[in-house]
Structure 1
């Protein structure tokens, strides 16, 4: 299923509260990748691709949520999967990373593991795709720092040096890989892309830009960026009108 990135970040809010977040972004030259590949919780992120086995992603997150490390969880699933040589499976948890590419995946295929981030792809134009994806993310990664790009502040960032929300940075990482060639199957014009982010941080209103899919398009990255921009603008408008109502859990506060 082309290429994807899984990331884990830890950060503090301006109020001094410590949190972590996990995200997956993926794109492919097939429709509906958002229903197949990305699996995320506040404890980890997993992507399953190549000859997709959705159960690997779903159960992988369940195992991580139950306390297994990402390595133990995904290795156990692959060991029980007769189709493992045709799978790609990778992910992150709070303490580590895991990445696997079966030897029967479509060329070019491969994966990379970085600090709290994994990238994998198959049927690509070349290795440069995942290298560019990894480099683009690592250039903007947030670790052990105060991050104002959370909660209501995410829609009101004024300082260009402040980190952007993880969802946006994951989309930008996909865009970097796409520029390098991405999926080589040019005979398949209908494409898709998705980004999903979960955090231990709670919000009065759930940020809508953290769960976005473009299921069928010929311009997946541009359309996912467009969906993100609209979701962010809508979030800011909603905050302005309904923030007090959500905090009070009462529509009477809308006036």
Structure 2
């Protein structure tokens, strides 16, 4: 997929939102801080004339921030990880590539550009995968793991229980603690984005990003430099 420029990605977001809502969407204000456009609102679910599935509102809400990057913080880490890879690091997510059926969101941890969240439409909902790469762009041994939505979710939160392919990958690599993972994403457009990992044993990890304060986009994630703007 070709990486959109900021203007093109915002236009794509507007088209997507209009398609979901069945009405025109005004052009975003381009005079915001850092020269980035203000996020577009997701289609309203309160309008009786508009029937939009929660998953469509959720997907469109993320797409409305396409081209923008945001800094975050670890909100919850219970129990605390003994080998915390996030401590003292700048955490930045970048809604970098947006299409009608897929959104790619690199998650940078300091200088580590190995992680990308890949959100894809499916026949029954959404799929979340984690694309992990080495600095040379090659795939990590543990990559493209995640799962599909098992319920309709809401316009602001979708959960992704671990799928069979991911379980097989974790077993092969000896990651038994991850066999019962559930990931979730929450979004309040223009306010917050939360990435979550939970397990039945009480493990809970959340990173929260401030969507009200865009930051300059980071470099391309490893393996996607050819798609840099």
TM-score by length of 2: 0.30
Larger Rg: 1
Which structure is higher in RCO with an 8 Å CA cutoff and minimum separation 6?
A: 1
| Larger fraction in helix | 1
TM-score by length of 1: 0.28
